[in-house]
Structure 1
Amino acid sequence: MAEKKPKRPWITGWDPEDEDAWHRGGRRTARRNLVLSVLSEHVGFSVWTLWSVLVLFMTPENGLAFTPGEKFLLVATPTVAGALLRLPYSYAVTRFGGRDWTVFATTILLVPVTLALYFVRQPGTPLWVFLLIAGLGGVGGGTFASSMTNITAFYPQRHQGWALGLNAGGGNLGVAAVQLIGLAVIHATGREHPEYVAAVYLPLVVVTAVLAARLMDNVDAVRTAPQVQREAARCPDTWWISLLYIGTFGSFIGFGFAFGLVLQYEFGTSPVQAMGYTFLGPLLGSLFRPLGGWLADRLGGARVTLWNFLGMAAGTAILVLASHAGSFGLFVGGFTALFVLSGLGNGSTYKMIPAVFARRAEAAVTGGGDAARAFARARRLSGAAIAVAGAVGALGGAAINVAFTVSYADVSGSGTPAFLSFLAYYAVCVLILRFVYLRRQPPRASAKPEAIREASRA
């Protein structure tokens, strides 16, 4: 009998800031883990948003007659579950390691996928069963937090913007991918087999889990003290930025879940027609996310995010006008613009986090503090704040769907009240940026470059 292959040990002493070690093989190791992290997060996002496709085929003809409000509640449920799981997922990866947690987080996706595959073809299934399965699908949303925390440990500070942008963008593309798969299944088999959409993901989940087990690594650098998240939660900037992220990522994921249903109830489109348009917005939003970070690097995160929210407000106003005018083309164009702007805002808002905590570190150094210690603390708090903002921001997606649930309480309902509530929230975000992050501040002395480099290694 063959001996059981020993479990791969943790990589100890991992220091991505050591340029010699980085060029000797560290970069190759980091890239391999990034590729598998993107794949796992991508599949997780697809499972998380699976019900945004399946609800389009829950019709009386298929024995699944639900009201508009019930359908919006169904797509809101995984959003809430995924948001609530993000903080424990972020901590779990520091406890169990990137490889081991990715294998678990990917494998567990088989549960909601298998249940969806079976029950979506059972006429007469009560709503509570679908709500339970959709809630279990929230595990796919939690993968974002653990994946981002893990990849942060693999890359040096000078490459983290690119690596995290690629990781997040690849995951966000899962929203568009599940829409495209749904469209392909319908064209191939008709409207009577939505379960095939779920069936596509069974082998993808298995293959991803196997590849993660064989090719990913656990590194000791991912370990952090549990109190770091609590310390970040006590910082006002963490919550200001979380409010902004509700407006950007919450809009992206909330619109991604709801767009198909909104088209059905606003313009009476069929499921096939709706899916022909719904994939484009999430696709463009995902692709534009790295651009938001790139612009923030050059123009400042707060400034880019401010103009982004002004654009989102304008796009929302267009939706109200298009709805009242009954203009399908203008409505789809306005929604697509909102997806693009929310993607840009995701990137620029996340880039604000390290900048804000670095500015706090500079203030501490100016006041006589130790530069290495101040910037090391800033880096730890930035990672924790990213996890908190990611969790809170995802709750914005649930708020989007709750707003639509109230607006479309019956078949004759309109989305205008929901759009007006979004417009009001974007205005709040503009005020936060203007008066918290863009007010005039006295110049501060910058820490010496060597102190910052030393801090990045701490």
Structure 2
Amino acid sequence: MKNNLLFRGSSRALTLATIAFGANFSVWVLYAVLALELQHRLSLTALDLGLLFAAPMLTGALLRIPAGFLADRFNPKYLYGAQMLIVVPSLLALPYMSSLVDHMLLGLWIGISGTSFTFGISYVTDWFERNQQGTAMGIFGAGNAGAAITLAAAPYIVDKWGWENIGPIYAVGLLMVALVFLWLAPSRPRQAENARFEKISISLKEIVGTLQIWRFSLYYYFVFGSFLALILWLPQYYVNAYNLSIKQAMAFTLFFAATSSMVRALGGWFADRYGGRAVNWTVFWICLVCLFFLSYPPTSMTIHGVDSDVHITIEINVWVFTALIFVIGIAQGFGRASVYKTLNDYYPRQMGAVGGFVAAMGALGGCTLPIAFGLVVDAVGIYSACFMLLYGVLAICMITMFIANKTDRFKRRVQWAQNHNFLDD
């Protein structure tokens, strides 16, 4: 029986795929917690931290492109399971790393967990009708909450069993999730298996040559890439900028990651109801306002008055900072869902290849932005310089979207005029 869903087993497929994605995402951002210990142990600079964060993000981003083509060609369920099994040995090797270079090289291996999104999204979209894709992909995307699992569980593991046991414990957990997924997750429905041969193939050259796909990639670079970068960057930001303890920093970052991840399902519903483009535009404006205030560094001014000097101090305290970050996280959660809803509207038969490319460009934000954060903080000497950088990235996204929207409206008006004989063909 179908009820609201397209194929029998769709609820089980979506649930297990989301759990597996959450487990993979918790592994992918593991360095967000390890960095605090490594920064102290190895005396890392801000740039060193950025490079450390970038290592798993790099492979997780670049491998999403071939993963997308594989997911269009083969059954994504088995690709998904194989990917998890490949990552397990890297976690077992984690205790044996002793230098920054060692951790960076191992991070490239751990980063394979980042391809889970591409396999999972291709697997999930086979199970739902087009008008349910936004909600389904939003629910699946809530697996980003795996970051919250790491931020909550890793400090507990450290306190109870020590830093050296984080990797093996995560390896056991990921192995169990992989085996359960391969055992219980239904294979793709027969209708989708047949539809695989009806899909319109697209080459990487065609994707790279399509300006519209690059636009979607730029939007996703901000809503996902900056989300990923902030998960990695916020713990040490709280410690260095506000002198919080590691546990307090983890708690605040956990709040950001969990709320941003859980609203993604709601964002998918809004995108289904109101359209992905409208949701994206609203998201960008909200983030722009918040980033303006976050970019402002602590400032002291002296105004020479008539009788005496007036001293003014402008500073965003930790609670205002957290509130602004919370709003940005909520907006980004909506944005991540709406971008993929819009993408599915334009490329429903090529979600593996095109979705993988867009996901890769977005994940590159998690690779490049931490490095850029480290560079600007070291160069400018202001902790809030990282938010100045994000403000600039968002401004580019908004200008691009504005121009694209105007162009689309103009093309529609021209087409309407031609159809009504107001212009010569």
Structure 1 length normalisation: TM-score? 0.78
Cα deviations by residue, 1:319-364 (Å, 9 ceiling, x for unpaired): 1236552622222222222212111111122222234x2xxxxxxx
Cα deviations by residue, 1:51-74 (Å, 9 ceiling, x for unpaired): 0011112254xx433223212210
1:383 and 1:235 mapped to 2: Cα distance? 16
Per the TM alignment, residue 265 of structure 1 is displaced from its structure 2 partner at its CA by 2.4
Query: Does 1:29 pair with 2:4?
Result: no
- Counting aligned pairs with the same residue, the percent is 25
Query: Does 1:68 pair with 2:68?
Result: no
- Match for residue 162 of structure 1 among 135, 144, 150: 135
1:342 and 1:258 mapped to 2: Cα distance? 16
CA distance change for structure 1 residues 111 and 327 in 2, over 3 Å: closer, same or farther?
Answer: same
Cα deviations by residue, 1:248-275 (Å, 9 ceiling, x for unpaired): 1111111111111222222233322211
- Match for residue 200 of structure 1 among 169, 172, 191: 169
Q: Is the 8 A contact 1:151 1:164 kept in 2?
A: yes
Q: Counterparts of 1:131-142 in structure 2 under 5 Å?
A: 131-142=104-115
Equivalent residue letter for 1:384: A
2:200 and 2:398 mapped to 1: Cα distance? 35
Worse overlay, 156-165 or 144-153: 156-165
1:259 and 1:29 mapped to 2: Cα distance? 39
Query: Does 1:281 pair with 2:253?
Result: no
Cα deviations by residue, 1:208-246 (Å, 9 ceiling, x for unpaired): 121122223444245657535543433221111111111
Equivalent residue letter for 2:289: A
Question: Unaligned stretches of 5+ in structure 1?
Answer: 1-19, 120-124, 358-377, 446-458
Equivalent residue letter for 1:82: G
Per the TM alignment, residue 159 of structure 1 is displaced from its structure 2 partner at its CA by 2.6
- Match for residue 212 of structure 2 among 218, 224, 237: 237
Counterpart in the other structure of 1:450: none
2:43 and 2:397 mapped to 1: Cα distance? 38
Equivalent residue letter for 2:138: G
1:353 and 1:326 mapped to 2: Cα distance? 37
Q: Counterparts of 1:10-25 in structure 2 under 5 Å?
A: 22=2
1:379 match: secondary structure: coil
Q: Counterparts of 1:364-375 in structure 2 under 5 Å?
A: none
1:288 and 1:23 mapped to 2: Cα distance? 25
Counterpart in the other structure of 2:399: 431
1:263 and 1:282 mapped to 2: Cα distance? 14
Equivalent residue letter for 1:234: G
Cα deviations by residue, 1:7-59 (Å, 9 ceiling, x for unpaired): xxxxxxxxxxxxx7x56997332222222211221111111100001111225
Query: Does 1:303 pair with 2:278?
Result: yes
1:274 and 1:115 mapped to 2: Cα distance? 27
Q: Is the 8 A contact 2:56 2:110 kept in 1?
A: yes
2:279 and 2:122 mapped to 1: Cα distance? 25
Cα deviations by residue, 1:110-164 (Å, 9 ceiling, x for unpaired): 1221122443xxxxx2211010111111111111011111221232223322221
- Match for residue 262 of structure 1 among 237, 241, 266: 237
CA distance change for structure 1 residues 209 and 83 in 2, over 3 Å: closer, same or farther?
Answer: same
RMSD, aligned CA: 2.6
Counterpart in the other structure of 1:3: none
Worse overlay, 301-310 or 47-56: 301-310
2:371 and 2:286 mapped to 1: Cα distance? 23
1:395 and 1:25 mapped to 2: Cα distance? 34
2:126 match: secondary structure: helix
Q: Is the 8 A contact 1:319 1:334 kept in 2?
A: yes
Query: Does 1:177 pair with 2:145?
Result: no
1:132 and 1:415 mapped to 2: Cα distance? 28
Per the TM alignment, residue 286 of structure 1 is displaced from its structure 2 partner at its CA by 0.7
CA distance change for structure 1 residues 382 and 86 in 2, over 3 Å: closer, same or farther?
Answer: closer
Q: Is the 8 A contact 1:72 1:401 kept in 2?
A: yes
Query: Does 1:98 pair with 2:76?
Result: yes
2:298 and 2:73 mapped to 1: Cα distance? 49
Q: Is the 8 A contact 1:34 1:151 kept in 2?
A: yes
Counterpart in the other structure of 1:343: 333
2:77 match: secondary structure: helix
Q: Is the 8 A contact 1:242 1:392 kept in 2?
A: yes
Q: Is the 8 A contact 1:353 1:386 kept in 2?
A: yes
Equivalent residue letter for 2:115: G
Counterpart in the other structure of 1:122: none
Worse overlay, 23-32 or 125-134: 23-32
Q: Is the 8 A contact 1:318 1:330 kept in 2?
A: no
Q: Is the 8 A contact 2:137 2:337 kept in 1?
A: no
CA distance change for structure 1 residues 381 and 113 in 2, over 3 Å: closer, same or farther?
Answer: same
Counterpart in the other structure of 2:309: none
Q: Is the 8 A contact 2:59 2:108 kept in 1?
A: yes
CA distance change for structure 1 residues 193 and 25 in 2, over 3 Å: closer, same or farther?
Answer: same
CA distance change for structure 1 residues 36 and 425 in 2, over 3 Å: closer, same or farther?
Answer: same
Q: Is the 8 A contact 2:59 2:109 kept in 1?
A: yes
Worse overlay, 381-390 or 394-403: 381-390
Counterpart in the other structure of 1:413: 381
Equivalent residue letter for 1:433: M
Equivalent residue letter for 2:276: G
Equivalent residue letter for 2:181: A
CA distance change for structure 1 residues 82 and 433 in 2, over 3 Å: closer, same or farther?
Answer: same
Worse overlay, 68-77 or 316-325: 316-325
- Match for residue 402 of structure 1 among 367, 371, 383: 371
Equivalent residue letter for 2:148: A
Equivalent residue letter for 1:238: I
2:177 and 2:112 mapped to 1: Cα distance? 15
Q: Is the 8 A contact 1:182 1:197 kept in 2?
A: yes
Q: Which runs of structure 1 show a deviation greater than 4 angstroms over 4 or more consecutive aligned residues?
A: 22-26, 221-226
Question: Unaligned stretches of 5+ in structure 2?
Answer: 300-314, 417-425
Q: Is the 8 A contact 1:228 1:381 kept in 2?
A: no
